[in-house]
């Protein structure tokens, strides 16, 4: 009994395919069927040949059964089974077990049918074709040469043999079909269970996703608020500091004020870096392509880096291919940021020697080029093993050696992300203690193919024309103005910020009212008519946008059409568009620069209230 169970478990083990299990069903049933078959043959007395044929069949079946289970992936055992049963055993049985009057025809039908269950179509056609020919051959031999057939003794025996064959074949087919249906049902059940599990997992994923999205929205919100909160006090610090720099005569205090100014700007750029980084992370960073002059970008970078390099006694060189198209189309701000990040690092991580910015290009097609920016330094270099960490966020290399050098480990990560966003690549070559070269390649559209010329020559020409420059700056200074008859209202919930604007505009002698809330602002706008309103956005109770809408709706308001400028620390992407859409005429971001503020007033105040001043130099 135990052995039988073992055999059963082996023949129907899990790892077998349905087809293999089917072969096992057929073979083991056929094997078992032979036992009563032999008994019947002995009883009806067909003779020793019939018994031998059935024993031979059992041996063949057992061999094929063995082979099938030894090589379950091979079609050979099934082919052997079909060939030996249909083409050898059944035809032989036809002659030795009584001819067409017996159950052999039923067996032949069974053989042909299960061939289709086991084999591929082409094999099935071949084998059933041949067995059809053989069957006909057997009939013809029986008819024409009956002496070759060993017939049974009586018609009764023939009927018994046919009945037995009929019963066995029906049972085997029944078993096969039952087994197949069961297997499919089992599989369908497993599939359905898997389906349910998947559906549940999907639902859980969707929930997790929704939670993540809301966490990410909370993070963005937090960052927007944090940026606002930090930029607001920086605004006050830098604004007040500018007043000291303008008005103080004491050299020592001026030095302190200069230090505050540089630390303040550093803090501001740090806040901007963190903001940029989180915008990129949350997928909110957008590129804003414009037409721009490459020379002006190079010039800005030169101006910003030149003094820093000089303070460290480093040579700073800019080299460029003079044929680069002068006007390009791309995100000028980000390109400048990429170059500045690389240059700032080069200066930071170089003790002596030089920093060189080279700009080259290669044509992509008629309307675009690859801009190739490389920054080379003779600094501390980067070891082979550290190169892999270079572009990781918040990762600083050699923390110990670099501990005196300020940094967050964000610059290169942001640089790479911007580069990738623009469809470009960034590479680095570096040798420890010898220096590094960072190369950024960015596709840019061409707006004007006029060659840019050599940067250093244009720069020299410019300094040669120092006189003209002076005149120019004189003209710029002419833009200084007074507007004692103009009246403006400044709204901000932070008193210090109100003071900054007041002090920055002190020289213009503009009449100014200061409101510390939306409510207070609405009181003023009912009482006085203003030429311009400067409005902070984030204020408690009533924010700047609500205040603007209320001003426009005031029944007896005196400022229904007064231009209102958003003055805000909200520096997120899309902020400008949002303010203009809400009805502000312009947007100034904090920390406010006096030049921005004055330019805005000059643009928006009524011309007849502005007295432009001629400076004597
Ligand atoms: P930060 O300079 O703020 O630390 P970055 O992302 O700009 O962050 O740079 C990451 C690290 O890569 C730096 O901490 C520094 O170790 C290394 N690194 C960057 N540029 C250079 C360079 N030009 N020479 C040597 N090391 C550099």
Q: Residue 361's pLDDT is what? A: 96
Q: Would you list the DSSP string of 67-111?
A: HHHHSTT-SHHHHHHHHIIIIIIHHHHHHHTTGGGSTHHHHHHHH
Q: What is the CATH number of domain 481-612?
A: 3.40.50.2300
Most ligand 1 atoms within 8 A of CB, residue of 390, 432, 440 to mutate: 390
Ligand 1 centre to CA of 345 (Å) is: 6
Tell me the pLDDT tens digit for each residue of 511-565.
999 999 999 999 999 999 999 999 998 888 888 999 999 999 988 889 999 999 9
Ligand 1: residues within 6 Å at CB?
A: 345-346, 349, 377, 379-382, 390, 396-398, 402, 407-413, 436
Look at residue 140 and give its three-state secondary structure. helix
Q: Residue 115's pLDDT is what? A: 87
Look at residue 249 and give its three-state secondary structure. coil
pLDDT higher than 70, residue 406: no
The protein residue whose alpha carbon is closest to atom 20 in ligand 1 is 345
Q: Residue 367's pLDDT is what? A: 93
Sign of CA dihedral 161, 163, 167, 169: positive
Backbone angles phi, psi at 471, to 5 degrees: -60, -45
Q: Residue 373's pLDDT is what? A: 97
Neighbours of 396 (CB within 10 A): 14
pLDDT band at 78 (very low <50, low <70, confident <90, very high): confident
Q: Which residues contact 217 (CB under 8 A, 6 or more apart)?
A: none
CA Rg, the chain, in Å?
46
C-alpha to C-alpha distance for 549 and 557, rounded to whole angstroms: 12
Beta-bridge mates of residue 319: 358
Q: Would you list the DSSP string of 566-600?
A: EEES---TTHHHHHHHHT-SEEEESSPPHHHHHHH
Enclosing H/E stretch for 305? helix 294-311
Q: Residue 395's pLDDT is what? A: 66
The structure tokens listed for 347 are 């200066």
Question: Contact 138/100 with Cβ under 8 angstroms?
Answer: yes
C-alpha to C-alpha distance for 278 and 227, rounded to whole angstroms: 11
C-alpha to C-alpha distance for 136 and 458, rounded to whole angstroms: 104
105: alpha, beta or left, given left = phi > 0 and alpha = psi -120 to 50?
Answer: alpha
Look at 268 and 340; give whichever has higher pLDDT.
340
Q: Domain residues of the chain, as ranges?
A: 2-194, 288-474, 481-612
Sign of CA dihedral 513, 240, 476, 272: negative
Asked whether the bond before 285 is cis by omega within 30 degrees of 0, the reply is no
The atom of ligand 1 lying closest to the CA of 407 is 3
Task: Name the DSSP letter for residue 542.
Answer: S
Most ligand 1 atoms within 8 A of CB, residue of 339, 343, 344, 349 to mutate: 349
The atom of ligand 1 lying closest to the CA of 381 is 25
Look at residue 355 and give its three-state secondary structure. strand
Ligand 1 centre to CA of 536 (Å) is: 37
Can you say how many angstroms the Cα of residue 162 is from the centroid of all Cα atoms in its chain?
72
Least confident of 331-335, 586-590, 608-612: 586-590
Backbone angles phi, psi at 189, to 5 degrees: -65, -45
C-alpha to C-alpha distance for 492 and 562, rounded to whole angstroms: 18
pTM over 0.75: no
Most ligand 1 atoms within 8 A of CB, residue of 396, 414, 427 to mutate: 396
Look at 377 and 500; give whichever has higher pLDDT.
377
C-alpha to C-alpha distance for 490 and 515, rounded to whole angstroms: 6
Quote the mean pLDDT of the chain.
85
Question: Contact 64/84 with Cβ under 8 angstroms?
Answer: yes
What class does CATH assign to 288-474?
A: alpha beta
Ligand 1 centre to CA of 412 (Å) is: 7
pLDDT higher than 50, residue 466: no
């Amino acid at each position: 009994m135990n052995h039988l169970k073992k055999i059963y478990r082996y023949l129907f083990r899990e790892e077998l395919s349905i087809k293999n299990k089917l072969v096992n069903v057929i073979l083991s049933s056929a094997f078992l069927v032979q036992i009563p078959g032999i008994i019947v043959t002995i009883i009806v007395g067909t003779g020793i040949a019939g018994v031998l044929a059935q024993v031979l069949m059992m041996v063949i079946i057992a061999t094929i059964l063995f082979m099938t289970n030894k090589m379950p992936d091979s079609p050979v055992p099934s082919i052997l089974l079909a060939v030996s049963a249909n083409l050898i055993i059944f035809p032989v049985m036809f002659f030795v077990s009584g001819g067409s009057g017996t159950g052999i025809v039923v067996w032949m039908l069974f053989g042909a049918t299960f061939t289709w269950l086991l084999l591929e179509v082409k094999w099935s056609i071949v084998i059933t074709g041949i067995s059809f020919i053989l069957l006909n051959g057997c009939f013809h031999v029986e008819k024409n040469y009956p002496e070759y057939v060993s017939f049974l003794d009586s018609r009764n025996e023939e009927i018994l043999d046919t009945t037995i064959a009929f019963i066995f074949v029906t049972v085997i087919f029944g078993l096969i079909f039952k087994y197949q249906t069961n297997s499919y049902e089992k599989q369908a059940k497993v599939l359905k269970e898997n389906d349910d599990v998947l559906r549940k997992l999907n639902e859980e994923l969707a929930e997790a996703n929704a939670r993540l999205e809301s966490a990410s929205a909370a993070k963005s919100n937090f960052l927007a608020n944090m940026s606002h909160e930090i930029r607001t006090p920086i605004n006050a610090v830098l604004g007040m500091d500018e007043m000291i720099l303008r008005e103080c005569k004491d050299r020592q205090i001026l030095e302190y004020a200069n230090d505050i100014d540089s630390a303040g700007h550093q803090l501001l750029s740090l806040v901007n870096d963190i903001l940029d980084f989180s915008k990129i992370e949350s997928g909110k960073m957008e590129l804003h392509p414009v037409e721009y002059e490459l020379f002006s970008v190079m010039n800005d970078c030169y101006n910003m880096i030149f003094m820093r390099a000089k303070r460290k006694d480093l040579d700073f060189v800019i080299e460029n291919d003079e044929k680069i198209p002068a006007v390009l189309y791309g995100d000028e701000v980000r390109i400048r940021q990429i170059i500045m990040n690389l240059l700032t690092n080069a200066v930071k991580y170089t003790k002596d020697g030089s920093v060189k910015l080279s700009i080259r290009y290669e044509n992509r097609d008629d309307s675009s080029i690859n801009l190739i920016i490389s920054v080379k330094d003779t600094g501390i270099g980067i070891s082979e093993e550290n190169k892999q960490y270079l572009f990781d966020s918040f990762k600083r290399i050699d923390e110990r050696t670099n501990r005196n050098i300020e940094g967050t480990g964000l610059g290169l990560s942001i640089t790479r992300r911007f580069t990738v966003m623009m469809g470009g690549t960034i590479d680095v070559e570096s040798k420890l203690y010898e220096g590094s070269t960072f190369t950024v390649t960015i596709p840019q559209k061409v707006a004007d193919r006029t060659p840019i010329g050599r940067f250093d020559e244009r720069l020299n020409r410019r300094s040669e024309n120092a006189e003209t420059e002076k005149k120019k700056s004189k003209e710029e200074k002419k833009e200084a103005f007074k507007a004692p008859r103009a009246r403006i209202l400044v709204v901000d919930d932070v008193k210090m910020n109100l003071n900054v604007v007041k002090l920055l505009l002190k020289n213009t002698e503009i009449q100014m009212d200061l409101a510390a809330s939306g409510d207070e602002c609405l009181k003023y706008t009912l009482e006085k008519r203003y030429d311009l309103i400067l409005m902070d956005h984030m204020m408690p109770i009533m924010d700047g946008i609500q205040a603007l809408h209320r001003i426009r709706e005031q029944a007896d308001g005196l400022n229904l059409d007064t231009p209102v400028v958003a003055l805000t620390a909200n520096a997120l992407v899309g902020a400008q568009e949002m303010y203009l859409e809400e009805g502000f005429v312009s947007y100034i971001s904090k920390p406010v620069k006096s030049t921005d503020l004055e330019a805005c007033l000059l643009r928006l105040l009524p011309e007849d209230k502005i007295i432009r001043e001629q400076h004597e130099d």
